[in-house]
Amino acid sequence: MEAARKVIVNSVLEPEVTRLEVNPNVDDHFTDFKSALQEWVQAKGFVQPEYSIVSEAGPEHRKLFTMQVRIFEQDGGEPIYSATGEDSTKKKAEQQAARIALEYLRSQQPVPAESA
């Protein structure tokens, strides 16, 4: 058991910790932006985000997917916001689109006035 622990620590954990120390701003891998976006739109009373594929490009072994997320108000109609993301898998591209949408939507929220 101790030998297996050493292999995991030395081969998996230590290199990952070193990578994070070198580039501490890399947190996209550890964040589920799709879930965060869904929670945000639900809290605002909007409809669940819609994801769709915009395009697929490149050879089979090196695809680039472009995915779009659209946010609608409760009454439907035209989307209030849409964003696209690109990556090597549909899931990663959806996460990118959700991250962009969430960052934008959060930035549009009014800042509460300070009490006097």
Q: What is the CATH number of the domain that holds 96?
A: 3.30.160.20
**43 pLDDT higher than 70:** yes
Tell me, yes or no, whether 114 lies in a domain.
Answer: no
**Residues in CB range of 64: below 8 A, 6 or more apart:** 56, 57, 58, 86, 87, 88
* Cβ-based neighbour number of residue 97 at 10 Å: 28
The pLDDT tens digits of the residues spanning 51-91 come to 999 999 999 889 999 999 999 988 778 888 999 999 999 99
pLDDT band at 97 (very low <50, low <70, confident <90, very high): very high
Domain that holds residue 79: 32-107
Give the pLDDT confidence score for residue 93 in this predicted structure. Answer: 96
Rounded Cα distance between 38 and 94, Å, is 12
Residue 54 and residue 68 in one domain: yes
**115 pLDDT higher than 60:** no
Report the predicted TM-score, pTM, of the whole model to 2 decimal places: 0.67
19-23, 41-45, 59-63: least confidently modelled range: 19-23
Residue 12 and residue 62 in one domain: no
Residue 59 and residue 10 in one domain: no
Tell me, yes or no, whether 116 lies in a domain.
Answer: no
Query: Domain total for the chain?
Result: 2
* Cβ-based neighbour number of residue 75 at 10 Å: 7
Residue 26 and residue 38 in one domain: no
Residue 103 and residue 51 in one domain: yes
